[in-house]
Amino acid sequence: MEHALAELPLALFTTIGAVGVGSFIYLCLAIFTHSFGEEGLKRLDKFTLVPLVLLIVATICAFFHLSQPLHAPFILLHILSPMTIEILVFGVVVGFIVVYLLLAKFNKLPAVLRKVLIALIALGAIAVGIFMGLAYKVSTIPVWAAPHTPIMMVGFVLAGGTSLGLLVLKLAKLEPLSQGFKLATVIVMLIGLALSAYGVFSLYTMAQGITTHIANGAEMAAEMFPCVVVFGICIALSAILNLVALFKNSNVALLSVSVILALVGIFAARLVFYGLQISIAL
């Protein structure tokens, strides 16, 4: 747990950032499968500020990972480092979101351009998940360098963004949603859940089998097991609430709880990730 708490800013960045960018995948699905009309789109653009605020918070958390936030620009001195690329990709996606919302604000976003930009943002969200995982490709920490790390992060983007995307649509009063949107949302969310579960399970089981002269992977894994349980319970409950919102009666309170559960669950999984920082000598 000591390693996990030492990386708290990064745990928050990767949690909030994944949920924030992931929500745009579902906004993209909504725009491509439904016609909301001019007034509906105005309301949607207004409440799209909610995930943008979360992304700004995530950015602040990333800066606090450094010894002093004002030193953050020095990361650009190592332009090819995995962490630099991760932050740059994240920044580019956030930049696209800002441009998208500014164009919408000044009525410069025709239907075709809206679809092009939101599609690029949705693809960028998946790229953010991939590069968040690749940033930890450290040869001396095998449980981080394995393929399950980017797979896990993409899963968090897809699964964690569901509730926030649905919340934005609910706040904008864009109902009823089309059957095509509901079906696409369920499919993407289930893929996200599967990738998330696979990533966390693979990380945990791999850590159990590693023993060095300074660390016992099995003991470290046992210490982080409660966080694994929290992840499983919270992400499952969030998914259930999302399904209720899609096919039964939904409200802002229900979807807000779903967002909180997703954040708590993914944060617990990120603590597991950082808590299993088992270094080996080469």
Residue 80: pLDDT above 70?
A: no
Average pLDDT over residues 133-145: 86
CB-based contact 196:235 (threshold 8 Å): yes
pLDDT band of residue 63 (cuts 50, 70, 90) is: confident
Query: Which tokens sit at 266?
Result: 């993914």
Overall fold of domain 2-275: Formate dehydrogenase/DMSO reductase fold (1.20.1630)
CA gap 44, 37 in Å, rounded:
10
pLDDT band of residue 71 (cuts 50, 70, 90) is: very low
Report pTM: 0.92
Q: Which residue has the higher pLDDT, 273 or 78?
A: 273
Nearest 5°: phi and psi at 64? -75, -5
pLDDT at residue 6, rounded to an integer: 63
pLDDT at residue 85, rounded to an integer: 83
Domain ranges of the chain: 2-275
Average pLDDT over residues 201-226: 85
Q: How many CB atoms lie within 10 A of CB 80?
A: 6
Q: Which residue has the higher pLDDT, 175 or 265?
A: 265
Q: Which residue has the higher pLDDT, 94 or 75?
A: 94
Tell which residue, 194, 193, 223, has the closest CA to residue 208: 223
Question: Percent of the chain beyond pLDDT 90?
Answer: 67
CB-based contact 132:160 (threshold 8 Å): no
Residue 36: pLDDT above 70?
A: yes
pLDDT at residue 102, rounded to an integer: 96
